[in-house]
Amino acid sequence: MNTDLDSLSTADLDALIARAIHARTKRGEPHPDKPPQEFEATLNPAWFVFLAGADSIVQFRHAGAGWISVAIPPPERAHLATMLTHHALLAPPPPQPAQAPPSLASGGGGKVH
């Protein structure tokens, strides 16, 4: 396929990506079982979660592919929630901005009660 991607409009490029993703789902060769060691990631993507029957639908906005939707059944949803909670508790707290010490009220002898 000799397509000059730079010459495509954004809408045409989005349509090409969607067609390629759809075509890949129909291929007999599966994706690898393990994720790649090197990857590009979208930092803090927009996301949306809703129920569809018993499953949770999680949608992430990928910088290149647009909205990616994943259905997560209840057992995996519980596992994912546990792992995210675990990671949240392991992560160092974000740095807090320096705060000025509270001002003492005027009067009252300068004592804090």
Virtual CA dihedral for 20, 24, 25, 29, nearest 10 degrees?
180
pLDDT per residue as tens digits for the range 46-87: 999 999 999 999 999 998 888 999 999 999 999 999 999 999
The more confident residue out of 110 and 10 is 10
Element (H, E) at 58: strand 55-62
pLDDT per residue as tens digits for the range 3-18: 689 999 999 999 999 9
How many other CB atoms are found less than 10 A from the CB of residue 17?
A: 14
**The pTM is what?**
0.65
